[in-house]
Structures are given as C-alpha cells and as structure tokens.
Amino acid sequence: SAALEGSNAQRGLWSSRLAFILAATGSAVGLGNIWKFPYVTGENGGGAFVLVYLLCIAVVGIPIMMAEVMIGRRGGRSPVKSLSLIAERDRLNPAWKLVGAIGILAGFLILSFYSVIGGWAISYVGTTASGQLTGQTADAVGAIFSGLLSDPTTLLAWHTLFMALVMVVVVRGVRSGLERAVSILMPALFVLLLIVVGYAMTTGHFGQAVAFLFQPDFSKLTTSGILVALGHAFFTLSLGMAVMMAYGSYLPKNISIAKTSMTVSVIDTGVALLAGLAIFPIVFANGLEPGAGPGLIFQTLPLAFGQMPMGSLFGTLFFVLLIFAAWTSGISLLEPIVEWLEERKGMNRTVSTLGAGIVCWALGIASILSLNLWADFAPLGFVPMLEGKTIFDLLDFFTANIMLPLGGLLVALFAGWVMSREAMEKELALSPGMFNLWLITVRFITPVAVAIVFIYNLM
C-alpha cells in the first residue's frame, strides 16, 4: 500500500479543510434543498416524512458520506481507480464497477432535468426584478407559473442557458474561484432564507407550518413516502454517485473525515429545513395545497416577495443565489461523465464536455415537454407504482429513489466488507467506540435499511 500512501501527493490537495467543505457544500446545497425538499415534504404529508428523512440523513447519509470520502482519500484517484486500488485488484469486480457506472449515468440523467428546474430559477430573476409580482394574489402568481410551464420555447431558452453555464465551468476544469464564491454566496442565500422566514412569521400561519413540518402524523406516511425520504437523503447530500469520493481524494490526510462530513450534512439539512419554514407558512396563509408538486416554491415565494418590503430586491437576489447554488451542484453532476470520457475514451476535455453536455441538454427537452405537450404521456404507466408519471417524473424517480440508494448501498458494502479494518481505522481516526458504531452502521444497518425499503416498495 505504499502506492496508496503516496498517491495523494502527486495530485495537489485541497489547501485546507475549508476548501473541501466549500466544494462539497457547493455540490450538496442546491435545488434539492430549496425546490425539492419542500415539495416532496408537502406531497408526503409533512412531519412523519420529515422525521424519516432526518433519520435517513443521520443513519444512512452521514455514514455513507464518511465512507465515500474515506474511500476517495485512501485511493487518492478517480472513484473507480480508488476502488480497484483499495480492493488490491487490477480488474475490479463488476459489483464495484457498478458504483462508477451509476455515478456517471445518474449524474447525466439528473442533470438533464435539474437544468430545466435551474431554468425556472433563471426565469424568476426577471419575474421578480420587473416588479410584476408586487401585491399579486395567489391566483395571479399561479398563473405566471402555469404560463411559464406551458411555454416550451421559453423553458428551452433558460434550460439552454443553465446548461451552458455548467459546461463553461466544466470545460475549464479549474474552479477555485467558484469554490471561494461558495463561501460568500451560500451564507448570503442562508440570510435571504432567514429574511423570508422572518416574513413568514408575520403571516399568522407560522405555528401551523411548524406543526406541519415537525409533528409527525404517521397515518400519512406511506411505503412509497419512505422510499422518497431515503432517496432524497441521497440526492440532497450528493451521495451514491461517487461525487464525495472524487472530492475526498483531494482531502489532506490530517483532516477529520467525520467532522467534515458532519459539517456538510448539517449545513445541507439546515438549508432544507429553513426552506420548509419559509414556504409552508405562505402555503397555509394563502390557502394553497401543500401537495401542489414541483411548482410549490414558484407558487409561494413570489407571493412573499410580492408582499414584503423591498420584495423585488430580495426576490431577485434570492433567485440569483438559487441559480448559483444549482450551478455548483450541476457542475458536480456533469463532472463524472466528462472525466470518464476523458480517461476511457481518450477525448479531450472540451470535446467530452461538449459531447456530454449537448446530449444531456437534448434529453432535457423530454423533461420540458413533460410539463406541457407530453403532460399526459406516462410511458411506464402500466406499472402500478409508476402510474401517471411523466418522463420528467420517471427520471427523477429512477435516479433519486433507485440509482443513488443502490450506489450508496454498494459503497456501504465496500467499506463494510472489502476494505481492511486497519486502513479504515487509520483514515477515520475515531475513538474505538465511534469507529465500531460507524462500522456496524455501514456493515449492517445501512444495507438492511436500503434493502427493506426497496423490497417493501416492490411488493
């Protein structure tokens, strides 16, 4: 394992713990927190769903993030190479190769629709800046949103712009400037969320929202809701597709993997919960439907920005910062496939970025059409569980709820059963008690939990 010890040195490490946290937070905090968390919470009945989601973060997400970062740092190479180095095999077992394959394919599929939603955020910069939201009713705000969804050309234009933003950064390969921007813009997004929460407290429905989010009503929890909560834990922490493994390969040896993983997870969870506290009071105050679906934040936040003092300014800033958060996540979604094309297919960075980006952009058109012309087209509607799901819904479902948990399950099994205990003890540098707790989790608890949720949902 001399090769393992030395391999990091040649690659240039993150300058500090902070640099890793900024990159990992840039990937983790995104549309998953502000767009997806509130709407899946609304669709799945609130409190009980949130509780399961938080449990999944604690029991499955954080241990798997630690495992990914640890495997990446130990191997010191790209994810698939790290796995084969650690397994001490030249040719990797197909099961572990699947981790790399899932990373590449899931990132590609997620980005295709992620970029469409990023496009919605871009569109709302203009909507808020123009002042047209000022004093609007819920109906008028809803009409603006339906107008956007029913217009494939506008959706395509913003989707194209978002994808171009992602590709520009990936082509250049270096993004130290972007990571430094995370340290200013993420806190700014946090502050703006706090401002919306402050407004939400004045609506008179804050208590109702808190109860909705934190008072579990288990009669509302379904098996499919549990699958969504598990899948969302992976999605929101950018787990199960080897992103954190790739980032971990740059982490200096003396830095605590447990502490950094906890920090990233706590920030990510905090942003999501804050988004929930910002949005649900507005939902209840305006008699809107918590289960309204993917449009939820675009039907609620504009109301707040239309009513609060300096709303146009705050609203514009908010959507600009949301685009930035989505952008840094989008980059980490495109990166794995571009690296794979470079390493395996011998393409240069420009060609691989253009190739992957354009195909991904084209696939995004299917998600755009799912919102209008193909809104009633459910290609797999004959499967009871997938009834009524558009192409957009299916892409989201398969990536977040199947591919990422499967990738995470394999990572847990690799750490739990393949890696040497000695190497892991050294990498994690935990107290014996904490180490055993972590090991039991990745060996048994995580695999069993994922397996049970999968099996229950298939039945």
Structure tokens at 314: 């705050």
* Nearer to ligand PHE among residue 238 and residue 316 (C-beta): 238
Nearest approach, Cβ of residue 199 and Na ion (Å) = 23
Which residue's beta carbon is nearest to the bound ligand PHE?
32
Structure tokens at 17: 């713990």
Read off the amino acid at residue 308: M
* Nearer to Na ion among residue 28 and residue 334 (C-beta): 28
Contacting residues toward ligand PHE, per CB under 6 A: 27-28, 30-33, 110, 235-236, 238, 241, 243, 329, 332-333
Cβ neighbours for 301, distance < 8 A, ≥ 6 positions apart: 196, 278, 279, 282, 315, 318
Nearest approach, Cβ of residue 245 and ligand PHE (Å) = 12
From the list ligand PHE, Na ion, none, pick the one residue 203 interacts with, judged by a Cβ distance below 5 to 8 Å according to partner type. Answer: none
Nearest approach, Cβ of residue 323 and ligand PHE (Å) = 12
| Separation of alpha carbons 443 and 421, rounded Å | 12
| Residue numbers 213-252 binding Na ion by CB under 5 A | 236
| Separation of alpha carbons 200 and 38, rounded Å | 15
From the list ligand PHE, Na ion, none, pick the one residue 288 interacts with, judged by a Cβ distance below 5 to 8 Å according to partner type. Answer: none
Longest dimension (CA), the chain: 66
* Binding region for Na ion (CB under 5 A) out of 22-30, 115-123, 218-226, 241-249: 22-30
* Nearer to Na ion among residue 48 and residue 243 (C-beta): 243
* Nearer to ligand PHE among residue 39 and residue 199 (C-beta): 39
Nearest approach, Cβ of residue 28 and ligand PHE (Å) = 5
* Nearer to Na ion among residue 32 and residue 118 (C-beta): 32
Nearest approach, Cβ of residue 371 and Na ion (Å) = 23
Instruction: Using the CB atoms, write b or e for 226-236: b if 16+ within 10 Å.
Output: bbbbbbbbbbb
Indicate which single residue of 14, 19, 25, 32 sits in contact with Na ion (rule: CB under 5 A). 32
How far from chain centre, in Å, is Cα 59? Answer: 18
Q: What is the DSSP string of 157-196?
A: HHHHHHHHHHHHHHHH---HHHHHHHHHHHHHHHHHHHHH
From the list ligand PHE, Na ion, none, pick the one residue 265 interacts with, judged by a Cβ distance below 5 to 8 Å according to partner type. Answer: none
* Nearer to ligand PHE among residue 32 and residue 42 (C-beta): 32
Instruction: Tell me, by CB under 5 A, how many residues bind Na ion.
Output: 5
Quick one: 207 exposed, middle or buried, by C-beta within 10 A (0-12, 13-18, 19+)? exposed
Indicate which single residue of 7, 8, 27, 33 sits in contact with Na ion (rule: CB under 5 A). 33
> How many other β-carbons are positioned within 10 Å of the β-carbon of residue 47?
20
| Separation of alpha carbons 141 and 301, rounded Å | 9
* Nearer to ligand PHE among residue 121 and residue 255 (C-beta): 121
| Separation of alpha carbons 86 and 422, rounded Å | 12
* Binding region for Na ion (CB under 5 A) out of 25-33, 40-48, 185-193, 415-423: 25-33
What angle separates helix 311-345 from helix 152-172, to the nearest 10 degrees?
60
* Nearer to ligand PHE among residue 28 and residue 50 (C-beta): 28
How far from chain centre, in Å, is Cα 351? Answer: 26
Indicate whether 57 belongs to the interface with Na ion (CB under 5 A): no
From the list Na ion, ligand PHE, none, pick the one residue 329 interacts with, judged by a Cβ distance below 5 to 8 Å according to partner type. Answer: ligand PHE
Nearest approach, Cβ of residue 241 and Na ion (Å) = 13
* Nearer to ligand PHE among residue 285 and residue 297 (C-beta): 297
| Separation of alpha carbons 361 and 365, rounded Å | 7
Least Cα distance to 272 among 70, 54, 4, 43 occurs for: 54
Cβ neighbours for 455, distance < 8 A, ≥ 6 positions apart: none
* Binding region for Na ion (CB under 5 A) out of 43-51, 60-68, 239-247, 261-269: 261-269
Which residues of the chain form contacts with Na ion (CB under 5 A)?
28, 32-33, 236, 268
